[in-house]
Structures are given as C-alpha cells and as structure tokens.
Amino acid sequence: MKRLVATGCLFALALTAVAQGSEQTVLIPASKEVSRSYMSPDEFSKYKGAYDLSNGKTLYLIRKATRMYARVDDQSEHEITRAGNGKFQALDGKMWMELVWANDNSVGGSLNYVDESPSMAGLEPKVISIRFASR
C-alpha cells in the first residue's frame, strides 16, 4: 500500500514537472518609441484648426503652450509630434496622420486613429482609417 501511495505521488510530481516545462508564449505589445519634435507656433499655425473627415466626424489640431494635440470629435486628446513634412503621430501611438496641401490651398490627406467608442461593451477598440473631406 505504501508503494502505491509513493508511486501515485511520484506520478503527480512528474506530471507537474512536465506541465511546468512546457513552453508557453505570452504576447506583450511593445510601446512605440516616439520622440517629441519641436515645432514653432508659427509653423504649427498652418495646421492648427478643424478638419472635416469623410465619415462625418471632425479632427481638431490644437496647441497648448509648447505641446500639440489632436482629437476626433469628443474623444480624448492625444499629444502629437511631427513625424515628417505634413505628418504627425500621437506619442501614445493611437493616432497618425498625413496632411497634404494642394495648390489651391485646400487640404487632403489621411487619418488613422483608435476609435475609443466601441458600439458594444466588451469589444476591442478598432483602428479607423479615413480621408479628409475638407478644412
């Protein structure tokens, strides 16, 4: 009887060791390393304002002190930085855009942002890719 109990315990320990030794993969999303790029108020004044999007929403680009921010309608503001000529990205990685100026001084371009207002509870926020309609 003692051998049966001892064998059972060894078997249980062996199963535990096998379970612990099995390889498990955990995906951890990496945060984007975005460094701030200074843009003078005069440079940013060209971009500052409201932009109508083709989905009926509005993109707002604003400046507070030395920081630049963007938001879509009533969603939260995201601090943005210049990522190139007419390109901006949010420091938190939830928004990136490109503004293209035409010869007639109209603005086109594209905006990608994480929609923070999912239609049903429990759904993951999705990335919206949209074109500018007008300024």
Q: What is the pLDDT of residues 87-119, one digit of tens each?
A: 999 999 999 999 998 888 888 899 999 988 765
Residue 95's pLDDT is: 95
DSSP 3-state of 23: coil
- Note the CATH number of domain 41-134: 2.40.128
Residues 6+ apart with CB under 8 A from 120: none
Residue 51 has pLDDT above 80, yes or no: yes
Residue 22 has pLDDT above 50, yes or no: no
